[in-house]
Amino acid sequence: MPKRIHGGLSFCRTIKTDDLVLKELIAELKLRHVYVAPRWDGKHWVEGDRVVILTEWDNPYGRSLASTFRKEAKGASVRFYRYMHGIDGRLPGDPAKSGDDVARAHSGQAPPVVEATEGLDQSDFLRRLGRELKDEDTDLWRKGKPGIRAIGLLGSDIFDKLMILRALRPQFRDAIFFTNNLDAHFERRDDWSDVRNLVVASPFGLRLAPIKSKSVHFRQRVAPFRDNTQTSMFFGTLVATERFKNDVLEEELRRQPRLFEIERSRSRELHKEEPGGDEDNGSTTAPHWFRNWFFSWRVGLRIGLAAIGLTLLAGWIGLSIVDRRLPGGGGPVDRLKRICSSTTFTLICGVPVIVLAVALFAQAGKAVDEPLAFFSGISIWPSEMLRLVALLLAVHFMIKAHFDLRANEREITRRFFPGLEISAKWSWGLGAKWMSDEAHFSAREAWAAYLRRNRFWPRFIRVGALFGMYAAFSFGVFSIFPRVITPARGDPAFIADIITLIPTVIAMMLLTFYVVDAIRLNSNFIRILTRGATEWEPQISDELGRIPPLDPGEMARYHDIFFVAHRTEEVAPLIWYPLIVLAIMIVARSSFFDHWTWPISLILIFALNAAWAFGSAMFLRRSAEQLRSAAISNLQWLRAKSGYFVPGKRRTFAELIGEIRGVKKGAFAPLTEQPFIRAIVYPSGGLGLLAVIQRLFESF
């Protein structure tokens, strides 16, 4: 029996050679669009991506791994670096080796010198190695080539791998790190920031995979092992003692080598095409766990009933709300239109559909290569869901802004300019007629000109021109800086990322420029009112509750202020729309979901996108305050000119000046209550997401 056990153990240790493990790693890199060997793109041969391999120099095992990987890679773009085994110079069981620094503190020993260049500790070379690799990466970028795309740690000492990861991971955030042999140290919570998304190819995991065989019924009743070697010894013992038959052994052979990725709390086995690698055992790590759960008759029926009930409830609440701007609160058509433009209703109906659609797509066909995990930090699918939600909101906000602005225009026209008809040929610009200090025009003419420029086609041309120029700028920025890396696995995941990202970015830019155009158009309208002398119709004083002794000319500036306040009360809050979408896009690229990074190009584009909206909102505020100052100065001059000998006029002028100074609506709101100031202050106080959510559901 001892001879059989020894033979079984030896056999299980060699059932998969290192070349198969390295082949699997190369195939996994290809699945993540990192090509080690040169490839044919249909026209010519393309040089392989730069890959760095670090192996042990002072033992045959490390040297054999390097030569084997070189033979399997067949690419000149692979760079090999060797190091001496035992970088920290400690033996197993030493306090520093085991990570227990408490013993050193209790013993009274002084802490070791960091990166000392003498003694057994060799960790000082890691900083020099990182600097050399970073210089090479920068040189490749300057030559217009992709930088270092992957770094492999092929060795036998887990502590050496952890030290290398701590040294190189912060400098190569976009690179894929991979290694051989799974170890329980990779699942330690304290080391997760260094080992997250590490790809591991290993003959065994930390426990045996579920065994489905007619010849044996086996359930593992032991805790997970510390490394794959212990698991292989356990399996070898079971084989040697004839607990497993040949069919079980053949099944295990087909499954090997196994692939893992380190997630937030454990190592997750990745889907493979080999037989036996696509088994759904009912756990959340199975490839089709969500599809199997969702299509179970009980879950599907209950989710369907809940969705129908929630949709009907939201529709019923929306239909029961009246609109104070419409006679009688609005008819059925008006209420249905309001439901369609309701943000709450859009989210209730749209978000579940997006989540289910993406989740089901993620578990169909080859898309299953990218694991579906919501909070494990290794899946792009939650990010794609959030991007689609951002796309939905961007389109919805443009529609909602259009409806709200049109409703506000109709209300203003009905209240201030009844019977106004807009000529199709009417247009205006910032010429001498409108911007000169001696300009005189009626408020009806100015409002008609504003409405003419606010029509669909003029706005479409302005927004389209801005979008084209900004798209050219963005393309140039992305061409200058290193390209953005997507941490996906498999062609379907990469394609899905592009399909969701491009429309969402386009919609976000269109929404931003739509809001910018609406705000700038109102800013220009306010500037025209400020520079020119506006003539208002006599009935406006009655509409605003102002009775003579002042004539319409003396009341003009007062009407300007309250007219602008009434209009900008609807325009100023539009700044929140691109902010909400931008916030969702930022959250979607959070490293909480996957190994997303923030290259300089993306930071620049997102910052400029926000600056567009903030700048236009600040310009609107500035224009409104200039109009307020001009109105106050005008009334003060009129009071000094004609009101000195008429006590009633003096008192009326004083009341008007006081009311103008007290206006706090729309663009005249205090600086601390301006939407663009809140958008800046809230994130700096740590309440950005809360403010966005509150604004998202507030008054919609």
Closest Cα partner for 62 from 127, 97, 18?
A: 18
Q: How confident is the model at residue 685 (pLDDT cuts 50, 70, 90)?
A: very low
In a domain, 555, yes or no: yes
Tell me the pLDDT tens digit for each residue of 8-67. 444 444 444 577 888 889 999 999 999 888 777 777 777 888 899 999 888 787 788 888
162-196 pLDDT, tens digit per residue, is: 999 998 998 898 899 999 889 988 888 888 888 88
Highest averaged pLDDT of the listed ranges 203-217, 581-595, 607-621: 581-595
**In Å, what is the CA distance from 480 to each residue of 236, 394, 484, 521, 602?**
55, 28, 11, 34, 12
Helices 552-571 & 600-642, crossing angle to 10 degrees?
Answer: 160
User: Is pLDDT above 80 for 565?
Assistant: yes
Using the 3D structure, point to which of 183, 202, 221 is the last residue of a domain.
202
User: Which of 3-7, 210-214, 481-485 shows the lowest per-residue confidence on average (mean pLDDT)?
Assistant: 3-7
**Cβ contact 390:508 at 8 Å:** yes
| Domain final residue, candidates 175, 202, 229 | 202
Indicate the number of domains in the chain: 4
- Asked if the structure places residue 314 within a domain, the reply is yes
Q: Does some domain include residue 390?
A: no
pLDDT of residue 49: 85
- How far apart, in whole angstroms, are the C-alpha atoms of residue 581 and residue 576? 9
Q: Is the domain of 558 the same as that of 439?
A: yes
pTM of the predicted protein model: 0.85
318 and 460 share one domain: no
Q: Work out the pLDDT band at 652, boundaries 50, 70, 90.
A: confident
**Mean pLDDT (whole number) for 629-644:** 80
* Same structural domain, 9 and 150: no
Are 255 and 342 part of one and the same domain? no
CA distance 572 to 568: 5
Res 477: pLDDT: 86
Q: Are residues 244 and 288 in the same domain?
A: no
Q: CB atoms < 10 A from the CB of 26, how many?
A: 24
Q: How confident is the model at residue 384, as a pLDDT?
A: 95
CATH number, domain at 56?
A: 3.40.50.2300
* Continuous segment of H or E residues that includes residue 260: strand 258-262
Q: What is the mean pLDDT of residues 470-482?
A: 86
Residue 619 domain flag:
yes
What local confidence, expressed as pLDDT, does residue 682 receive? 47
How are beta strands 148-154 and 78-83 bridged, if at all? unpaired
Does residue 290 sit within a domain?
A: yes
Mean pLDDT of 583-593: 90
Q: Domain residues for 297?
A: 282-358
Domain identity same for 557 and 434: yes
Query: Would you give the distance in Å from CA 465 to the centre of its chain?
Result: 26
167, 127 in Cβ contact below 8 A? yes
pLDDT of residue 698 exceeding 50, the answer is no
Q: Tell me, yes or no, whether 381 lies in a domain.
A: no
pLDDT (mean) for 322-326: 57
Looking at beta carbons, which pairs linking 336-340 to residues 24 or more positions away fall under 8 Å?
337/403, 339/315, 340/399
Please check the confidence at residue 632 and state whether its pLDDT lies above 70. Answer: yes
pLDDT given for residue 335 in this prediction: 65
Nearest to 497 by CA among 506, 486, 505: 486
* Antiparallel, parallel or unpaired: β 199-202 and 258-262: antiparallel
Decide if 557 is inside a domain.
Answer: yes
Q: How many CA atoms lie within 13 A of 22 on its CB side?
A: 22
Q: Are strands 45-46 and 39-40 parallel, antiparallel or unpaired?
A: antiparallel
Of 235, 267, 299, the last residue of a domain is 267
**pLDDT class for 423, splitting at 50, 70, 90?**
low
Model pLDDT, residue 99: 46
- What tens digit of pLDDT does each residue of 488-502 get? 999 999 999 999 999
Rounded to whole angstroms, the Cα distance separating 26 from 31 reads 9
At 680, which amino acid appears? Answer: I
Q: Supply the pLDDT for residue 8.
A: 43
In this structure, the answer to whether residues 506 and 435 fall within a common structural domain is yes
Name the 3-class secondary structure at 308: helix
24, 9: one domain: no
Residue 637 has pLDDT above 80, yes or no: yes
Query: Are 191 and 216 in contact, with CB atoms under 8 Å apart?
Result: no
Residue 498 CA to residue 354 CA, distance in Å, equals: 16
pLDDT averaged over the chain?
78
- Beta-strand runs (E) in 320-372: none
- Express each pLDDT in 88-99 by its tens digit: 776 655 555 544
Residue 276 covered by a domain: no
The whole-number average pLDDT for the span 365-390 is 91
Residues 429 and 522 in one domain: yes
pLDDT greater at residue 504 or residue 566 = 504
Residues 135 and 37 in one domain: yes
Q: Hey, which residues does 51 pair with through a beta bridge? A: 78, 150
40 and 178 share a domain? yes
Is residue 198 domain-shared with residue 233, that is, in the same domain? no
Tell me the pLDDT tens digit for each residue of 221-242: 678 888 888 888 888 888 887 7
When mean pLDDT is compared over 69-78, 257-266, 286-295, 524-533, the highest value belongs to 257-266
Q: In which band, very low, low, confident or very high, does the pLDDT at 454 lie, cut at 50, 70 and 90? A: confident
